[in-house]
Structure 1
Amino acid sequence: MSDTTQLLRFITAGSVDDGKSTLIGRLLHDSKSIFEDQFSAISKTSEKRGMGAVDLSLLTDGLQAEREQGITIDVAYRYFATPRRKYIIGDTPGHEQYTRNMVTAASTANLVVILIDARKGVLTQTRRHTYLASLLGVPHVVLAVNKMDMVDYSQARFDEIVAEYRRFAAPLGIADPVCIPLSALNGDMVVDRGDNLDWYQGPALLEFLDTVEIDHDVNTTDFRFPVQWVCRPQTDEHHDFRGFMGRIEAGEVSVGDEITVLPSGRTTKVKEIVTYDGKLQTAFAPQSVTLTLEDEIDISRGDLFVRSSDTPPHVAKEFRAMLCWLSESPLDKQRKYIVKHTTRTAKCLFSSLDHRIDVNTLELHAVEKLAMNDIAQVSIKVQQPLVFDSYATDRATGSFIVIDEATNNTVAAGMIV
């Protein structure tokens, strides 16, 4: 398989018993991505439990506690590949108390598969997961109506669920979710089309995953390059080399482009683009490169290069953000916190907690403190200016984490409004 094969990260979300683990097991099994010894192990376990068929959900519910309780607790990652793409699947928990797990997994996903049990229809969890997917800007949403075998593969039932879901999702900015009827248990419309859903003309799930367009999931227009490292080799042949290393988070850059260094605002031109495999004329997101510049400018880790002709980012010491509180200890406005944004860290304080969002009903509530899994809009002041875009424009330069200075624990993840 070539190194240029695209990588698609997707997560599955749904309430307990919607069949997420079975769906992933079916994807892995039918795409021939599991080993024979794995298959024989789960066959034996299924037999011991007196099941007529092999329980494919055992492939993903890896933690002993999950198997014993029959629920998914942590995000389980699985890897598989087809001739067209490589995949990383995150199986996220359905319970509200694990909201933070879903937020963490969704923040890097290209796509979310929201599962619905055809018998139960749209539930509170469905709404919660859809809201989180929209909040985290996941570019593609698939509504997978599972257990169609339990409703006699009824087209009327499928249409009813899809209509209800679209009514709810449209105001959240999810205008065109792809809706697929399937049976993970029997394998209809997962990898193979099966014989029972001939009224459905759209793609099977894997067919859609293989063909969905993900090139434009990152901002391809505005160049953003946070400096991670200033490279000054101490060797005789390179003693005057000064390069700036990092990953291009958005857009592209070419030799000769005029760039602005923020927050200082100084401008210069790109002299060379250096990589391990040699020099390039043009580089683009998400490549990791070393840039050399025509002028000597004072630049350090945390500075951001932008192309002078592109839409400029914001440079400010105060901003509003949506925050998901990850820590078991609640937010304490008296404590000292640090914001880590791209490659820059800065001390911060919470100047206001505007409101908390009830992720089940989307109602807003006044709030004095944040507890674990709470999602709220807040205002943050930082000691040094940050250079950022809104999260909707660029997920990389619009997101940050909050670290507790005393414990060094990551306590929150944020998206700049």
Structure 2
Amino acid sequence: MTTVTPEHLAATTLLRFATAGSVDDGKSTLVGRLLHDSKSVLTDQLEAVERASAGRGQDGPDLALLTDGLRAEREQGITIDVAYRYFATPRRRFILADTPGHVQYTRNMVTGASTAELTVILVDARNGVVEQTRRHAAIAALLRVPHVVLAVNKMDLVGYREPVFAAIAKEFTAYATELGVPEVTAIPISALAGDNVVEPSAVMDWYGGPTVLEHLETVRLGDTSASGPSRFPVQTVIRHGGERHYAGQLLSGRLRVGDTVTVQPSGRVTTITSLDVLGQPADAVRAGRSLSVRLADELDVGRGDMLTAGPRPPRIAKETEATVCHVADTPLTVGHRVLLKHTTRTVKAIVTEIPSRLTLDDLSQHPEPGRLVANDIGRVRIRTAEPLALDSYADSRRTGSFLLIDPADGTTLAACMVGDAFATRTAQPAADGDGWDF
């Protein structure tokens, strides 16, 4: 393989992607095969895997151990945490999140896929689409991951038969399309044998599409963050020479010296007088950069406030409705008092209503479930003690999402997306309740 130089890396694009699938579908083996066959494994890492495999009595290296790094994972033979790996080819750089397959750890997929631009969902060719497959597809749709790859694994165990692959691909694609997934690419593979992972399969000549790595290298990425409305949550205030500079990361849009901005949620309007990036003045800054901003007026601006500009202002509200994935062992119930963390702002909140819970089998909504338990996907209505500047999750994955946190111990309860991710199959809405007042 061509050597990847630092100069080349600077010119290549970056793809963040996640893997998901049921237990024993072969996610870790796929990731290990991907790293091994793309020559992205260091010699000492491979030697460590070979020693661990020999200790288990295996003839060859178990490539799954390249990602199953925790001792508990290796002993159980399953992935229970999100394993991150970084690698590169001459065509692209990658940040990979290998997420758990066991239903008990589905919540960790939310962590791994929340920033992903592509998700690889594995299916065992012998079992086809199962409930956990549907759950992972629903989470990918909920998080609005723009590209989904269906990797039908263990094709060697079904005789590499095309009809088996075609039936699974048809069923999954129909389900994902109904969820609203914009693009599904189905690839038949054998992660253990290496078929269609990095190199094309010699025994599946009926398949003429890309390998997994080829698709990862060539999938088209869209960068809409720089063209969207400007959103700059203030992380900290820096006092320098009697002046106040507001530091943080620009989540979307652009900021320029002389721009008129609104401080949210107060609604006060002012002008940018200077921008600094890494201590150097800048005339303009685009999304993704960390910077400090100085304003023309002496306003009461602090951590948690947001500078906004552009044609679509955020919605300022103390009540909101969101689609949530409940990730904690403690159930989420009506009347639950929580902390709500949105960008750099954390406020007290209360769950006023749980209108529905998603049924994965037919994508219908079960009305008024009363509570959500671990791994449930549902709708919640929330009232906050202070107003928030919210965008729809469909418009911004960063400013359209928030976390619900247990104020007692800091445990994350739910990952929430503003708006209705599954509006097409929702039952009749429940009546609004009075809820609690702050």
Task: Name the TM-score, length of structure 1 as normaliser.
Answer: 0.92
What residue identity is the alignment partner of 1:34?
V
| Distance in 2 between residues matched to 1:63 and 1:344, nearest whole Å | 33
Q: Alpha carbons of 1:3 and 1:242: their partners in 2 closer, same or farther (altered >3 Å)?
A: farther
Give 1:30 deviation, angstroms.
Answer: 1.0
Map 1:12-411 to 2 at 5 A.
12-216=19-223, 218=225, 220-233=227-240, 239-276=241-278, 278-307=280-309, 309-331=310-332, 333=334, 336-359=337-360, 361-365=362-366, 366-411=368-413
| Distance in 2 between residues matched to 1:39 and 1:117, nearest whole Å | 26
Give 1:135 deviation, angstroms.
Answer: 0.7
Give 1:260 deviation, angstroms.
Answer: 1.8
What residue identity is the alignment partner of 1:410?
T
Q: Alpha carbons of 1:49 and 1:143: their partners in 2 closer, same or farther (altered >3 Å)?
A: same
Give 1:334 deviation, angstroms.
Answer: 5.1
Does the 8 Å CA contact 1:74/1:92 hold for their aligned counterparts?
yes
Give 1:34 deviation, angstroms.
Answer: 1.4
Unaligned runs of 5+ in 1: 234-238
Q: Alpha carbons of 1:279 and 1:201: their partners in 2 closer, same or farther (altered >3 Å)?
A: farther
Task: Name the TM-score, length of structure 2 as normaliser.
Answer: 0.88
Deviations 1:158-185 (A, max 9, x none): 2222212111111111142112222211
| Distance in 2 between residues matched to 1:61 and 1:282, nearest whole Å | 43
Secondary structure of 2:106's counterpart equals: helix
Q: Alpha carbons of 1:292 and 1:84: their partners in 2 closer, same or farther (altered >3 Å)?
A: farther
Secondary structure of 2:332's counterpart equals: coil
Give 1:348 deviation, angstroms.
Answer: 0.8
Secondary structure of 2:197's counterpart equals: coil
Task: Answer with 4-13 or 89-98: which moved more.
Answer: 4-13
Does the 8 Å CA contact 1:227/1:300 hold for their aligned counterparts?
yes
Q: Which runs of 4+ in 1 moved over 4 A?
A: 2-5, 332-335
| Distance in 1 between residues matched to 2:167 and 2:337, nearest whole Å | 51
RMSD of equivalent CA atoms: 2.1
Does the 8 Å CA contact 1:166/1:175 hold for their aligned counterparts?
no
Give 1:134 deviation, angstroms.
Answer: 0.3
Q: Alpha carbons of 1:414 and 1:258: their partners in 2 closer, same or farther (altered >3 Å)?
A: same
Does the 8 Å CA contact 2:335/2:351 hold for their aligned counterparts?
no
What residue identity is the alignment partner of 1:252?
R
What residue identity is the alignment partner of 2:247?
M
| Distance in 2 between residues matched to 1:15 and 1:103, nearest whole Å | 15
Deviations 1:26-81 (A, max 9, x none): 01111112122222232234344443432211222222332232222222222222
| Distance in 2 between residues matched to 1:219 and 1:170, nearest whole Å | 28
Q: Alpha carbons of 1:265 and 1:165: their partners in 2 closer, same or farther (altered >3 Å)?
A: same
Unaligned runs of 5+ in 2: 1-5, 420-438
| Distance in 2 between residues matched to 1:4 and 1:281, nearest whole Å | 24
